Structure 1
Amino acid sequence: MTTEILQQRRSLHFPLIDLLRGFAAISVVIYHIIEHFSWKAFPAEGILSWFRIGWMGVDLFFVISGLVIGLAAFSGIDKSGPQGFRMDFIRRRIARIVPLHYLTMLVFVAFIMPELIFQGFWSNLLAHLFFLHNLFPAFHGAINGSNWSLGTEMQFYALMVVVSPWLYVTRIWKVLFAFLMVAWAWRLGTVWLVQPDAMGPFKIFLVSTQLPGMLDEFAIGIVMAKLFRSDLGHRIFDYCQKLPVALCVCAIAAAVFYLMLSIYWKHASFWDIPVMVVLFRTFIAVSFGLIIFAACVITPGVQIKRLLWPLTYLGEISFGIYLWHLPVLLSLKRLNWLSFEQVVVLALVLTITLASVSWHFFERPLMQKYARSSKKVSVQEPVPQVEKAAV
């Protein structure tokens, strides 16, 4: 086994995960361009049709979050015990998520929609400051709309503070079973109790995407985290890193992903089909879980890493891409003479620029400042590399 693979096992840092983060972020950006600019002529077939359902990038973020946050929590328990890990875990989550969330909220209110100040502002603001905005129809996405998922994400972190010691010692199948049952029961209740109204299926979307309804997606990542730390997982991991096996893993992941997309396109109305609402997100999560597993078992060489650097860099700044892109799009909508193609170019350039600046001069310095002041930072869990936002 090479020294590089041994080091990867010790750090449990998988470089290609950043590539998936970048893909997820760009998928959401282009999806919102299609929706906000009513780009009806955007391809509905072929590879580009993926971006018509780029909202699935959020689901990919949630599965990655289950993996990364699971590894972080379990590592903290290794070092500090089932009680002592909590404060350090909370501080790290706050340092990673809160500063940029607050900054982009400020920019959004000040420069994009200042009229929000005169529309029940304080209740709206408090809900967003405490990551409760996703719970209320009036506040869901009201300030920088794409950050609705941060509410679900931060509530998942709060849950992990409580249940990580149980996850740490519980068998994988029990964890998976418990989380699946909660998610399916929640979404089944949504189908039974929530009816579409004048806003269409928005309420069903709002309720079904609360934390209990998304636990199956987080669960797939947590299960991988537990597997990678187990002796059985180590053996599977080593076996899958052999080139022929790795290629088979990639082929299986691609086949399941294609099947998932095929089923979705046949039932794309989605919200008026109960079985899709209740069960299909689990299939999305499994599909993305296989892709993430394939990305984890592939260990690119130095030259490949250099070639992939522009793509993995997008993953490094993906949290910023996610939070900055909507203010950019709403600003560009004022230039109604732009062509769709010009919007795509300008939106990507401006969003990536803002995300890059905020990462290098705002987010990372704050994370590094925290890392220097924390007595519990481990060299096996470098903050800028491992603790990326998965929202």
Structure 2
Amino acid sequence: MMLTTSGNHLLTVQFLRCVAAALVVAQHAALELRARSGLPDLLSYWHEVGGVGVDIFFVISGLVMYLSTRRIPSPADAGATASLFFRRRLIRIVPLYWFYTMLKVGIVLILGSKAFADGLPLLYVLGSLLFYPMVSPASGDILPLVESGWTLSFEMLFYAVLATAIALRLPRLKTSVVLLAIIFVVSQMLVDSVLFRFFGRTVLFEFVLGMVVARLWMQRREVPLWMPVVLVTFALAALFVYRPHLDRFIGLGIPSAMLVLGVAWMERVEWVRGLAAKVTLLGDASYSTYLAHGFVMPVAVIIGLKLSPHAYGFVCVLAVLGSTAAGCVSYLLLEKPMTKFLNARFGGARTPASPETAAPI
């Protein structure tokens, strides 16, 4: 049996975005339950594997950005296309992230916070809004005010690299590899800098893996069924069963790329496509879920523990479901109309060379 894909709208990618968001929420719910129960090893499996959601998100981002910028503009249009690409990425990411960042600022200032008992530094808030890595006064880690937003700093760097390649009409994949490698090498030499210490992680190259996946998918739309089955099986085993202590890029990034490619190749299997189609909304709402869960998940955990004080697995599931529902509401009532309005106002006219609006994570 052969699998054939057509077009560039991959429902299976939407499905994986939904899964990735749920994994991240599960990881953070496990941490919240640990803190509230006083049991340091509680739900250790979900604490360990939940972070895989970020790696899947990064690979998907590389895939989608490569596909959405595949049309090469003429020399006269390259700069304008790069500007349009980056502007649309800002519209897609910034407004919702700023909304949740300012929501947290309001909560801290009005209701107070033990984590920010000494106050909320203005410079730290500005750094969070501008995706500039800074040490959090609350945890001592390099994290923004909305902690899950740390991944967006990597996203913005990747978009800047890709926009540079488009503007200069250079090969997107090769240019991204070179520029990201330069950033990584410089970061290894400037480890005393918070900024470079933050970006000096191999997770940076998972965007490149996504671009490689996109090229493989575009070059081979028709593959034997056994190929994606083997890829997905190996990836699931590496990510969720046998987890050797390797560098994140090798241990999680490469299996995540194999998972994304394998699932994308299975797009034409009827039941796979049918399943993916049923969760399209959850995939669309994954960015909202990712940002909103930090507000919803702790509340869900508190409610769950009151309902069933020791049913920790049930509480974790409740937190995931509650955060996902909140993400869908955020997407439908806030993210979608806001993005549509801003694109119509500032996103520029859509042309054959215009980059598509795609999810950031």
Q: Shorter-chain TM-score: what band? A: 0.7 to 0.9
Q: Which runs of 5+ in 2 are unaligned?
A: none
Mark the CA change 1:282 to 1:307 in structure 2 (over 3 Å): closer, same or farther. Answer: closer
Q: CA deviation at 1:61?
A: 0.8
Q: CA deviation at 1:348?
A: 2.6
Count of paired positions: 343
Asked whether the equivalents of residues 176 and 208 of structure 2 are also in contact (C-alpha less than 8 Å), the reply is yes
Q: Aligned partner of 1:329: which letter?
A: M
Asked whether the equivalents of residues 30 and 316 of structure 2 are also in contact (C-alpha less than 8 Å), the reply is no
Helix, strand or coil: the match of 1:60? helix
5 Å-filtered alignment, 1:55-94, equals 55-75=51-71, 77=73, 81-94=77-90
Q: Which residue of 1 aligns with 2:359?
A: 388
Mark the CA change 1:92 to 1:144 in structure 2 (over 3 Å): closer, same or farther. Answer: same
TM-score by length of 2: 0.79
Q: CA deviation at 1:360?
A: 0.9
Q: CA deviation at 1:382?
A: 9.2
Matched residues in 2 for 1:156 and 1:362: separation?
26
Matched residues in 2 for 1:157 and 1:135: separation?
20
Q: Which residue of 1 aligns with 2:282?
A: 314
Structure with the largest fraction of helix: 1
Helix, strand or coil: the match of 2:279? helix
5 Å-filtered alignment, 1:260-299, equals 264-265=243-244, 267=245, 276=246, 279-299=247-267
Quick check: 1:237 aligned with 2:216?
Answer: no
Asked whether the equivalents of residues 64 and 358 of structure 2 are also in contact (C-alpha less than 8 Å), the reply is yes
Mark the CA change 1:368 to 1:21 in structure 2 (over 3 Å): closer, same or farther. Answer: same
Q: Which residue of 2 aligns with 1:343?
A: 315
Helix, strand or coil: the match of 2:9? coil
Q: Aligned partner of 1:34: which letter?
A: A
Deviations 1:11-61 (A, max 9, x none): x221100111111110011111112221656566xxxx4553211211111
Asked whether the equivalents of residues 93 and 360 of structure 2 are also in contact (C-alpha less than 8 Å), the reply is yes
Asked whether the equivalents of residues 59 and 253 of structure 2 are also in contact (C-alpha less than 8 Å), the reply is yes
Matched residues in 1 for 2:98 and 2:127: separation?
12
Quick check: 1:170 aligned with 2:171?
Answer: yes
Asked whether the equivalents of residues 97 and 389 of structure 1 are also in contact (C-alpha less than 8 Å), the reply is yes
Q: CA deviation at 1:189?
A: 5.4
Q: Which residue of 1 aligns with 2:227?
A: 248
Q: Which residue of 1 aligns with 2:125?
A: 125
Mark the CA change 1:111 to 1:346 in structure 2 (over 3 Å): closer, same or farther. Answer: farther
Q: CA deviation at 1:68?
A: 1.2
The CA RMSD over aligned residues, in Å, is 3.7
Matched residues in 1 for 2:130 and 2:353: separation?
31
Mark the CA change 1:135 to 1:118 in structure 2 (over 3 Å): closer, same or farther. Answer: closer
Matched residues in 1 for 2:172 and 2:99: separation?
40
Matched residues in 1 for 2:212 and 2:95: separation?
29
TM-score by length of 1: 0.73
Q: CA deviation at 1:250?
A: 2.3
Mark the CA change 1:381 to 1:301 in structure 2 (over 3 Å): closer, same or farther. Answer: farther
Quick check: 1:218 aligned with 2:207?
Answer: yes
Q: CA deviation at 1:110?
A: 2.4
Q: Which runs of 5+ in 1 are unaligned?
A: 195-202, 268-275
Q: Which residue of 1 aligns with 2:26?
A: 30
Q: Aligned partner of 1:97: which letter?
A: I
Q: CA deviation at 1:146?
A: 1.3
Q: Aligned partner of 1:387: which letter?
A: A
